[in-house]
């Protein structure tokens, strides 16, 4: 018996077959199709110049449980990265490693006495540390500061205090900090429902500005890009020419963005790019 070998998408097709539906044979890879054929839990039917596969209801799910170890085919098919855990996979498939998991999947957050999980305060997160708010905890997260600042680099999250001299405007703000790890569904939903102002510190290079333009802004159209004081001089003094050349192709798609365009002009003028870690030194 193999405990792994089926993707969620393949399992979803098997759910349909188990319900008596037919599917084009091409949707099932040979490694999945052949065992099902050998066990007699599917039937091949001629359809024009090709074949469709029809499942034998009930028998197919029983065979999947026997052959792949998947105890609940429907739940396995719905076990997306957003909702699956090692515990749930152990229950569904008898194997906590049946599908890839990210054990630290969630958001890293720094609270300054303004964040809560349910009614529990997260207090103040010292420099060099952060709190992991897992995806399952996200619906209970409350950020009660008016501002949430997202940064690109983990080191900049841990040592954000060393960057603040470049952003004197933040001295009068109350904010929490988060790492832009991903923008998957649960995090996007949380951001959409949060009523504060999202501020964003990107990498000041073409790729980083492209992330802001194409990934961050669509989730929060009101997001505000933070620009460090003296950015033009910073790019000249600390920028990287090779990095600029490597990413230069992204610039043409950014000219129409009113928040990004001034930075694009600085990059083109200096022919250098600046990653945000440079603000730590």
**Same fold yes or no, 8-93 and 106-280:** no
For 235, the enclosing helix (H) or strand (E) is helix 231-238
Residue 146 in contact with residue 174, Cβ under 8 Å? Answer: yes
pLDDT score of 88: 78
**What is the average per-residue pLDDT within 168-183?**
88
Close Cβ partners of 63 (under 8 Å, ≥ 6 residues apart): 35, 36, 39, 41
What are the residue ranges spanned by the domains of the chain?
A: 8-93, 106-280
Q: Using a cut of 0.75, tell me whether the model's pTM lies above it.
A: no
**What is the average per-residue pLDDT within 272-276?**
94
| Alpha-carbon distances, residue 204 vs 73, 126, 132, 207 (angstroms) | 46, 26, 26, 8
Q: Sign of the C-alpha dihedral, residues 150, 152, 158, 160?
A: negative
Residue 83 confidence (pLDDT) above 80: no
| Least trusted range by pLDDT, from 94-98, 110-114, 125-129, 210-214 | 94-98
CATH 1.10.10 fits 8-93, yes or no: yes
Tens digits of per-residue pLDDT, 252-271?
989 888 999 999 999 999 99
DSSP code per residue over 61-123 = HHHHHHHH--S-HHHHHT--TTT--HHHHHHHHS-TTSS---TT-EEEEE-BS-EEETTEE--
| CATH code matching the domain that covers 106-280, chosen among 3.40.50.10490, 3.40.1360.10, 3.30.230.10, 3.40.50.2300 | 3.40.1360.10
Residue 3 confidence (pLDDT) above 80: no
CA dist., res. 281 & res. 279, Å (int): 6
Residue 55 in contact with residue 61, Cβ under 8 Å? Answer: no
**What is the average per-residue pLDDT within 149-170?**
94
For 9, the enclosing helix (H) or strand (E) is helix 8-18
In terms of Cα–Cα distance, which of 194, 108, 196, 105 is closest to 152? Answer: 108
Residue 1 confidence (pLDDT) above 60: no
Residue 119 in contact with residue 150, Cβ under 8 Å? Answer: no
Tens digits of per-residue pLDDT, 196-237?
999 999 999 999 999 999 889 988 999 999 999 999 999 999
CA dist., res. 263 & res. 273, Å (int): 10
């Amino acid at each position: 018996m193999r405990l792994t070998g089926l993707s969620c998408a393949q399992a979803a097709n098997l759910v349909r077959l188990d319900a008596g539906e037919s599917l084009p044979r091409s949707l099932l890879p040979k490694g999945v199709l052949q065992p099902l054929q050998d066990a007699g839990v599917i039937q091949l039917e001629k359809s024009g110049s090709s074949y469709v596969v029809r499942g034998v209801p009930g028998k197919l799910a029983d065979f999947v449980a026997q052959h792949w170890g998947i105890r609940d085919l429907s739940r396995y098919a719905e076990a997306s990265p957003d909702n699956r855990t090692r515990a749930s996979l152990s229950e569904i498939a008898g194997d906590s490693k049946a599908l890839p998991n990210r054990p630290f999947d969630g958001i890293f957050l720094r609270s300054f006495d303004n964040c809560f999980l349910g009614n529990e305060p997260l207090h103040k997160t010292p420099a060099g540390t952060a709190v992991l708010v897992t995806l399952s905890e996200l619906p209970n997260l409350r950020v009660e500061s008016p501002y949430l600042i997202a940064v690109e680099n983990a080191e900049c999250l841990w040592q954000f205090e060393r960057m603040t001299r470049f952003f004197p405007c933040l001295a009068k703000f109350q904010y929490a900090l988060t790492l832009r790890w991903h923008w998957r569904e649960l995090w996007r939903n949380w951001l959409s429902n949060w009523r504060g102002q999202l501020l964003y510190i990107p990498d000041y290079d073409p790729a980083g500005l492209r992330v802001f333009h194409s990934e961050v802004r669509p989730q929060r159209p009101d997001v505000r890009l933070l620009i460090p004081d003296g950015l033009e001089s910073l790019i000249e003094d600390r920028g990287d020419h090779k990095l600029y050349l490597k990413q230069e192709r992204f610039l043409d798609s950014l000219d129409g963005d009113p928040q990004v365009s001034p930075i694009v002009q600085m990059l083109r003028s200096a022919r250098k790019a600046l990653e945000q870690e440079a603000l730590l030194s």
